[in-house]
Amino acid sequence: MSSVARRSRAIGVALLLLASAAAQVASADEAARVKVIKDALPAVVKIHGTPTYAGAEQGAVWGSGFFYAADRIVTNYHVVDGLKGLTVTLNDGRSYPAEVFAVDRGIDIAVVKVHGATAPATLKFSPSAEAQPGQTAIVLGSPFGKRNLVSMGIISGSGPFDYASQLGEGEVGVEIPEVLYTDARVEPGNSGGPLLNAQGRVIGVIDAVLGGASGIGGLGIAVPAPLVVESIHDLEEFGVPQRGWLGAVLVNLGELDPLTLRLAGLKSAQGAMVDKVLPASPAEAAGLKGAKRDRYGKLVELGDVIVAVNGKAVKNRFDVIREIARHRPGEDVKLTIWRNGKKVEVVVRLTARR
């Protein structure tokens, strides 16, 4: 055998060994992933009920959720809002009646109590404070009402998300400082289901889709696990969320007449005007002033304009709400406001949202 032939044979053998080693690694990774999913699926449920709100389509609507305790599951507030005859269907097809235990509209989370069933499995939340871009992301749930389905991708990143303008959900979700984005496929019905890491720990709760279906030009959106854990703790202990609340109706400066802003001495449309101060609220106690309007609702005089919270500039009312929500009841925050042609600082002691 020539030296060339011997070298060619050696190279071929080496390539075969490398291919075999790679296949074994792939098989090991795949086996580990399959085990994680197999262990997690019994904790995941389908939630369904009959809508009671106006304009709803006939028949049941559904979403997903998962057991974090023996008889309680976590899901999205928007999944259970306005539903009657709430039912939870387990991984094996058995169904049980359920009721809403407590809700946290600000971050679109609800805790649901299941009657007559004990969790076949529970999911644990990741102890890590942050999910990292590029990290494995596994989505479990009931897309289109089909139970026990799985998709996988990566964490694409994190950042703020304007629920009101993107989804038209009003005040739902407005207290989430940042959401997780994933390219793992998310469809209608996945809402409320878990977003897992490669170890099977919950790193987020699936909440919405930005753009189209994620995985086809869209991105899945999830509420980060640390925020969910804090919310569950507060709901179980107090029955209501324990994030800071200002108690004022705010309006984006960008929605007001630019001439009105200029006449008030404001050079920018970034900030939020206090339109109304709610009675017995932190805003009232701090002396914030609301706007004056005529009998037809037309603005006559600007209210206080919030331009910064604890020294951090705000662009709109959602920035104000999110910054306030980072604090707990009883904490003080310093608002920089524009009043009577000059900046004034006001300290507000927050309470829990009523």
- Known catalytic residues are 78, 108, 191
How many of the other CB atoms lie within 10 Å of CB of 337?
A: 22
Q: What is the rounded distance in angstroms from the CA atom of residue 343 to the CA atom of residue 212? A: 43
H or E element, residue 334: strand 332-339
HEC-encoded secondary structure of 66-107: EECCCCEEEECHHHHCCEEEEEEECCCCCEEEEEEEEEEHHH
Are the CB atoms for 181 and 326 separated by under 8 Å? no
Q: What is the rounded distance in angstroms from the CA atom of residue 93 to the CA atom of residue 84? A: 20
Q: Cα 108 to the chain's mean position, in Å?
A: 6
Q: What is the rounded distance in angstroms from the CA atom of residue 33 to the CA atom of residue 191? A: 22
Are the CB atoms for 148 and 139 separated by under 8 Å? no
Backbone phi, psi, residue 143, to 5°: -60, 135
Q: Which of 325, 89, 337, 311 is CA-nearest to residue 189?
A: 89
Are the CB atoms for 74 and 232 separated by under 8 Å? yes
Concatenated DSSP letters of 221-277: EEEEHHHHHHHHHHHHHHSS--SEE--EEEEEGGGS-HHHHHHTT-----SEEEEEE
Q: What is the rounded distance in angstroms from the CA atom of residue 225 to the CA atom of residue 264? A: 43
> Between the CA of residue 55 and those of 51, 52, 163, what are the distances in Å?
9, 9, 21
